[in-house]
Amino acid sequence: MKKIVISLVLIGLIIISIISFVSPKETKQSKLNELKAELSKKTTPSVDHSKFPILQKKIGSPQEVTEACISCHNGRAQEVMQSNHWNWEREEFIKGRGVVYLGKKNAINNFCIGVEGNELSCAKCHIGLGMTSSSTYSYTDSKNIDCLVCHDNTETYAKAPEKGGAPDQTLDFSFIAQHVGKPKRSNCGVCHFLGGGGNNVKHGDLETALFEPSKETDIHMASSGMNLGCTECHKTEKHLISGKMYSLSSMNRNRATCEECHTDNPHSETVLNQHTYKVACQTCHIPVYAKVNATKLDWDWSTAGKLKDGQPYEEDDKDGNHTYLSIKGNFKWGKNLKPDYIWFNGTASHYLLGDKVNDTTKALVINPLNGSYNDRNSKIIPVKIHRAKQPFDPVNRILIQPKLYAEKPGEGALWKDFNWQRASEVGMKEVNLPFSGKVSFIRTEMYWPINHMVSSKEKTVQCNECHSRDNSRLAGLKDFYMPARDFSPVIETAGTGIIFFAFAGVLIHGVIRIISTRKRKMKV
């Protein structure tokens, strides 16, 4: 009987260990291989645009290209004109604020602050041609759509600086139009890598190194790897592109997610799959960002306007990053950065032009990302926090939208006249907001979710980088109990206390026993 029981126990233990070692790994591996096979398929364009007579003619302007495009691709212009790339706004519901048409017209950031009044310069990143003012611009004239900025496959098309989004007129439009296709990295990257006035300034995880990244930089986009383009993940239907940045959006919708391809339980270890309830993929799989070039972390506008011999000047660090520009102030940069971590449920709020700031003792968060441990939809995500000191009207208690760019001096633009007073006065007038005549500076923060520069699985964040007493990556998230990081001081003290007393007790008892035994023996 007892032999049977013993062997049953042993067999049970062995079976359990075998099951837990062997079981689910194979299926996960084949899922990844399926994905690789799927994404390796080469697609060939269905037509050769260079054969179309309409594109073989001499084309003198980008508007003519657009007309030629629309003449075949009818209906597409209407799709484009529905998109936020064109309208520069989205219809969003913001809790506590209601429905807002959120976009570059009413949002502020803490980089170049805002586009209003500065369109000639900023519209270089608008998919339209010739925007001089975002409020008077015709969003219904399809001729103004810039098809080429997204569909040029020659990498020769480029918008001219300070021309409201128009290209250099000397380009060979016929040649470019004959070589159009699905957007490549270069099409997206020219705006999304260089936003904010330079490479990697804004995002930290989107920069020119992603044109041809190594596997260390980005496992998905690596030239020697799967070499995925932007649109493989940012799937696009009828010119509506999935994925968006929470600097200009508020609702939990139309997000491009890892789970679409990888499912929400991609690990072979159950305990790792359980982490996905509360931890976003990016949190572990993007251990560092700004892997190749530095990203901007701090922008102090308050020092802008200093001149040397009446002339604006710049100072650079050893990597060539600007640390001071007369037109913009002081900057701090960072490279190979560990992200900050926050709870995020997919919804954000926004500081909009004209909002009153009541508390200036702590930094104003321009795009608070909502979430908490107790919110079922929240997950921990990695973010870059961009800090700034930006102009503020202390009497009206609103952030100032300064006039930054003008074609010539004397119009009040900061970048030409270097006068905050005047730039604020002109800027606020253009956005129809009051200005008291006083300019001060307040600290602001912006949160930039980190989604790109995914590392290989070997380089992921290890358990003890978060589950640790000291230097936990999640040290800042205090609204929940995490094993290894957290403990109860009472239980810890009491626990070590009883262990100590138990140990000391048996030690003393043992010593007395030895001594008393010896004494007895000596007596004998």
Residue 437 engages another protein in binding (rule: CB under 8 A): no
Is residue 254 near another protein by the rule CB under 8 A? Answer: no
Candidates 18, 20, 71, 471; binder of another protein (CB under 8 A) is 20
Residue closer to another protein, measured from CB, 227 or 345: 345
Dist CA 446 CA 110 (whole Å): 7
**Residues composing the chain:** 524
317/335 Cα distance (integer angstroms): 13
DSSP-derived secondary structure for 219-258: TTT-TTTT---HHHHS-EETTEES---TTS--SS-S---S
Q: Which of 102, 495, 518, 522 binds another protein (CB under 8 A)?
A: 495
Query: Which CB atom, from 395 or from 512, has the smaller least distance to another protein?
Result: 512
CB atoms within 10 A of CB 412: 21
Bridge partner list, 311: 308
- Is 57 near another protein (CB under 8 A)? no
Q: Is 98 in the site for another protein (CB under 8 A)?
A: no
Using the rule CB under 8 A, which residue among 128, 374, 391, 455 binds another protein?
Answer: 374
Residue corresponding to tokens 């002109």: 426
Shortest Å, Cβ 260 to another protein: 20
Least distance (Å) from another protein to the CB of residue 272? 8
Q: For another protein, which stretch binds (CB under 8 A), given 136-144, 353-361, 420-428, 475-483?
A: 475-483
Q: Which residues pair with 205 in a beta bridge?
A: none
CB 516, min distance to another protein, A:
4
| Contact pick of 271, 319, 320, 476 for another protein (by CB under 8 A) | 271
State yes or no: residue 489 binds another protein (CB under 8 A): no
Task: Determine, following the binding rule CB under 8 A, whether residue 509 of this chain makes contact with another protein.
Answer: yes
Pseudo-torsion of CA 410, 411, 417, 420, nearest 10°?
Answer: 140
Instruction: Provide the phi-psi class of 185: left if phi over 0, else alpha when psi is between -120 and 50, else beta.
Output: alpha
Q: Answer yes or no: are the C-beta atoms of 202 and 171 closer than 8 Å.
A: no
Residue from 52, 175, 211, 373 in contact with another protein (CB under 8 A): 373
Binding status of residue 263 toward another protein by CB under 8 A: no
Q: Which residue has the tokens 């919110």?
A: 375
Q: Give the distance, in angstroms, between the CA of residue 418 and the centroid of all CA atoms in the same chain.
A: 32
Q: How far is the CB of 263 from another protein (least distance, A)?
A: 15
> Do 118 and 404 contact (CB within 8 A), yes or no?
yes
Q: Which region among 16-24, 98-106, 144-152, 385-393 touches another protein (by CB under 8 A)?
A: 16-24
- Does 11 sit near another protein (CB under 8 A)? no
Closest to another protein by CB, 47 vs 491, is: 491
Q: Report in angstroms how near the CB of residue 381 gets to another protein at its nearest.
A: 18
Q: Exposed, middle or buried by CB within 10 Å (0-12, 13-18, 19+), for 447?
A: buried
Cα 256 to chain centroid, rounded: 12
The SS3 call for residue 23 is coil
Span near another protein by CB under 8 A; candidates 37-45, 287-295, 449-457, 465-473: 465-473
How far, in Å, CA of 242 to CA of 244, rounded?
Answer: 7
The residue among 395 and 507 lying less far from another protein, judged by its C-beta, is 507
Kindly state whether residue 23 participates in binding another protein, applying the rule CB under 8 A: no
CB 392 within 8 A of CB 400: yes
Q: In the set 112, 517, 518, 522, which binds another protein (CB under 8 A)? A: 517
Contact at 8 Å (CB) between 244 and 88? no
Among 215, 338, 422, 467, binds another protein (CB under 8 A): 467
Do the Cβ atoms of 485 and 248 come closer than 8 Å?
Answer: no
Greatest distance between any 2 Cα atoms in the chain? 123
CA 368, 372, 378, 381 torsion-angle sign: positive
Q: Considering only residues 445-464, where is the footprint of another protein by CB under 8 A?
A: 462-464
Q: Which of 29, 223, 274, 323 binds another protein (CB under 8 A)?
A: 274
Amino acid at 497: G
Number of chain residues interacting with another protein (CB under 8 A): 51
Residue 259 vs 269, nearer CB to another protein: 269
- Output 211 or 480, the one with its CB closest to another protein: 480
Q: State the minimum distance, in angstroms, from the CB of residue 183 to another protein.
A: 37
Based on the shown chain and the rule CB under 8 A, indicate whether residue 486 belongs to the binding site for another protein.
Answer: yes
409 binds another protein (CB under 8 A): no
Residue 469, exposed/middle/buried by CB under 10 A (0-12, 13-18, 19+)? Answer: exposed
The reply to whether 523 sits near another protein by the rule CB under 8 A is no
- C-alpha 422/C-alpha 428 separation (Å) is 10
Nearest CA-CA partner of 205 in 259, 282, 263, 275: 282
Find the helix or strand (DSSP H, E) in which 173 lies: helix 173-178
Question: What's the token pair of residue 399?
Answer: 């952030």
Q: Taking contact as CB under 8 A, which single stretch among the options 80-88, 231-239, 440-448, 502-510 is the one that binds another protein?
A: 502-510
- Looking at the Cβ atoms of 14 and 72, the one nearer to another protein is 14
The residues binding another protein (CB under 8 A) are 2-3, 5-6, 8-9, 12-13, 16-17, 20, 269, 271, 274, 277, 373-374, 376, 462-464, 467-469, 480-481, 483-488, 491-492, 494-496, 498-499, 501-503, 505-506, 509-510, 512-513, 516-517, 520
